[in-house]
């Protein structure tokens, strides 16, 4: 889509400071490190628990710095939150699998149903609930998690890696995975953003531009029907910058099913190539977020199920629509949708995926 600006390309890791400290311990006594990456005026914090993106501090157009990622200041709060997936790397299969069932080569597998009748984000003990191994790399940190054969019902011992690196105002996530048995994999990051600041209310006034001519409609269980539907003439058309809240309350079956936006968009361009998926702009602060990805899709989610239960930073209870997610991914329920890009990973193959988040301002 020609109207989308291209984010700055990722360059060398010049002037990036990486600091590590022990953030706390799990109930089993496992030490959990947290890493702080600093480049210029951008500061990013990531932790080995769930390989989570904990914090992004970045300036607005006047230079005022705020945290634009929803989350907590204490490890204990993440350990006690089984619902929001704040900042997590979700897997083995991010998003939903219908009935938690899928087949590979005639063998059926069952993942626990933790979202109504669906399996969501790898089941109740998905990747966001584990302490990953951590190793500092130039410009950042690489997390590794080994998921045993049969865990949460998935076949194959899977070794998953995600590398966070910061350069200037661009945060890059490089994913990889290998397996010793044919399996399905869909890795993404579940950060919630609020470009005004994580304590500044809802995100309905922010302006979104999505590089997507099509989306995947869902049924009453939020499982894709298998159709690729044109966004033209619908509340899902964000091909030009559009205020998020402008049409979110319209009488539209898809919006009603999701309680707002909770849908996969088909990113224009060739999957496997790094291209712009989305640009979000917050008019008041002037902050912008540009997302580029090699993935075929992106889930736009408007925090419809945040219910003010969990108290985040500043003593704020994160309520409905106080954060948005742009989860770069393969499409939901892909193992059961033969027309969707495949999520099958076989022994001898290596999954590779890259997503970048560039934090800027309009001035």
Domains (range + CATH), the chain: 16-361 (2.70.98.10)
Q: How many whole angstroms from its chain centre is CA 105?
A: 30
Read off the pLDDT band of 9 (50, 70, 90).
very low
**H helical segments located in 46-195:** 75-79
Q: Is the pLDDT of residue 7 over 50?
A: no
* pTM of the entire predicted model: 0.95
CA–CA dist 203, 306 (Å, integer): 13
Question: Annotated catalytic residue: which of 121, 190, 263, 330?
Answer: 190
Q: How many helices (H) and strands (E) does the chain have?
A: 2, 27
Question: Is 292 annotated in the active site?
Answer: no
Q: How many whole angstroms from its chain centre is CA 197?
A: 18
Question: Is 295 annotated in the active site?
Answer: no
Tell me the pLDDT tens digit for each residue of 214-256. Answer: 999 999 999 999 999 999 999 999 999 999 999 999 999 999 9
Question: Annotated catalytic residue: which of 130, 142, 327, 330?
Answer: 327
**pLDDT for residue 327:** 98
Give the other-Cβ count within 10 Å of 189's Cβ: 27
> What distances in angstroms separate CA 109 from CA 100, 105, 128, 330, 341, one per listed residue?
8, 11, 21, 19, 20
**pLDDT for residue 4:** 40
């Amino acid at each position: 889509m020609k109207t989308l600006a291209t984010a700055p390309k990722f360059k060398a890791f010049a002037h990036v400071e990486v600091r590590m400290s022990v953030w706390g311990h799990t109930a089993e006594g496992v030490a959990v490190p947290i890493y702080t990456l600093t480049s210029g005026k951008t500061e990013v914090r990531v932790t080995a628990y769930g390989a989570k993106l904990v914090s992004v501090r970045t300036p607005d157009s006047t230079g005022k710095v705020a945290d634009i990622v929803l989350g907590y200041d204490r490890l204990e709060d993440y350990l006690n939150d089984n619902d929001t997936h704040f900042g997590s790397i979700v897997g083995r299969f991010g998003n939903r699998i219908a009935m938690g069932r899928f087949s590979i080569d005639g063998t059926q597998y069952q993942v626990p149903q933790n979202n109504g009748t669906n399996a969501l984000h790898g089941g109740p003990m998905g990747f966001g609930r584990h302490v990953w191994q951590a190793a500092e790399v130039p410009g950042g940190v690489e997390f590794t998690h080994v998921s045993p054969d049969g865990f949460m019902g998935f076949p194959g011992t899977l070794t998953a890696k995600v590398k966070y690196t910061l350069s200037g105002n661009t945060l890059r996530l490089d994913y990889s995975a290998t397996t010793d048995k044919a399996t399905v994999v869909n890795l993404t990051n579940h950060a919630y953003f609020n470009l005004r600041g994580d304590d500044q209310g809802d995100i309905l006034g922010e302006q979104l531009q999505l590089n997507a001519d099509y989306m995947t409609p869902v049924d009453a269980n939020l499982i894709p029907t298998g159709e690729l539907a044109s966004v033209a003439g619908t509340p899902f058309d964000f091909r030009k910058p559009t205020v998020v809240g402008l049409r979110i309350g319209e009488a539209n079956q898809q919006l009603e099913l999701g309680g707002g936006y909770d849908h996969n968009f088909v990113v224009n361009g060739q999957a496997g190539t790094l291209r712009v998926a989305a640009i979000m702009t917050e008019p008041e602060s002037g902050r912008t977020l540009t997302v580029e990805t090699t993935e075929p899709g992106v889930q736009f989610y408007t925090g419809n199920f945040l219910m003010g239960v969990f108290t985040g930073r500043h003593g704020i209870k994160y309520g409905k629509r106080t954060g948005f997610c742009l989860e770069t991914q393969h499409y939901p329920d892909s193992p059961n949708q033969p027309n969707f890009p495949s999520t099958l990973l076989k022994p001898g193959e290596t999954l590779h995926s890259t997503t970048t988040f560039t934090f800027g301002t309009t001035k």
